[in-house]
Amino acid sequence: MKTTGCKKSAAFLVAIYFVVSLASIGSSHGTPQFARETKLACSACHSHVPLLNEYGQKFYAKGFRLTKSHTADGTIPVWGTFAAQGSTTPGSKVLPITYDTSELASYGYIDSANLLYHLEYFPTTDQVVGFGIKPFGEHFAVSAGNINVMSQYDPGLDITLSTPVYLAPAVTAATTNPAGPFSPGGSLMGIRTSASLGGAMPYGQGWQVAATIPFSNEIGNAAAFDTNSTAHGIFTEIFDRQGMSSYGVNSFAGQDGRHYYGAVLQQKLGQFFMEGGGAYAEGFGDQTHVYSLSADWIPAFDKALAFRVDSQDGVLTFVPTASWELAKHHGALRLVVESAISRGIQPTTTFLMQLHF
């Protein structure tokens, strides 16, 4: 069965935008949604948006609440992002712009259902995606919906625009699957069960194990999901998290013959956030070895530099990134420039402007 997401009318977009506007006007503190609810600045939870700091991880692990009794009185749990992104190569005379990552969203915790939820609407593609996480006691949780494949590391919270190659092996001529041999850095429609010594919710501390069963191919674009009632395989993880640092191993066994074996390491060192990983992937008659190593330098909340080296079967790609952020009471503006430089291939530079409100 093919699915292209839930269709929504223009009235839905207008209504949500009106709600967002009201929430922004009524706020006198940071943005987006949680800054309005908690009256905390963005820098309280982020080293540099979107990268969470240790306090932000704890806030997430508590179900987006400062305390168990915390409520968001007087606020509306909605936020939005207007994003314009384009890529260019040397000699190119045009810069195609896409607005596909612009979104209206709501994250929160429903006390009556004991459920953490993410809900996002992308107006330009008319897509609605979301997932829920339900804890069972202090150490177990079940996630369902449009979830990130990997629970140890969420590439959506990385300051870089591209995904490290070990989380998204490139498509080769021998590969017929649009997501490559296997893409643990993508998203999918699926179910995950997880157990942790340090709390059932995401970003709990200590040792954790997780098993994710996909019912779709793993890919970043929800419009391209190929879903059916048959499990596509199982992705398993075991890792340890201490603050912003973590290390672990993972593997995927697919019913279509794909396999993936990987390792992930994250380490916080002062103003630097180091990250790396390696993997072996095979499927559809293709094999690949992929590695990545990156360093984010964040001297202040409003600025960050990153440099990553990707290696796929010995072919190196260098990925420098510069990000600047201006946060005000009613919104935040982020500008990012990132290049991908490989031998024998024209470098590609991507520009992104995000306005959060």
Share of the chain above pLDDT 70, in %: 83
The DSSP call for residue 89 is: -
Q: What is the SS3 assignment for 25?
A: helix
Residue 71 pLDDT class (50, 70, 90 cuts) = low
| pLDDT for the residue 5 | 40
| pTM for this prediction | 0.85
pLDDT above 50: residue 161: yes
Which spans in 229-318 are helix H?
Answer: none
Q: What architecture (CATH level 2) is domain 10-356?
A: Beta Barrel (2.40)
Region 211-238 average pLDDT? 80
pLDDT band at 165 (very low <50, low <70, confident <90, very high): very high
- Bridge partners of residue 308, in order along the sequence: 294, 319
The mean pLDDT value for 298-316 works out to: 95
- Per the model's pLDDT, the better-predicted residue between 93 and 50 turns out to be 50
Query: Which stretch, 175-179, 225-229, 255-259, has highest mean pLDDT?
Result: 255-259
Stretch 264-290: mean pLDDT: 93
* Mean pLDDT, range 108-120, rounded to an integer: 92
Contacts of residue 133, defined as CB under 8 A and 6 or more positions apart, other chains included, come to 115, 116, 117, 141, 142, 143, 201, 202
Tens of pLDDT, residue by residue over 115-136, are: 999 999 999 999 999 999 999 9
Domain ranges (residues) in the chain: 10-356
pLDDT greater than 70 at residue 282: yes
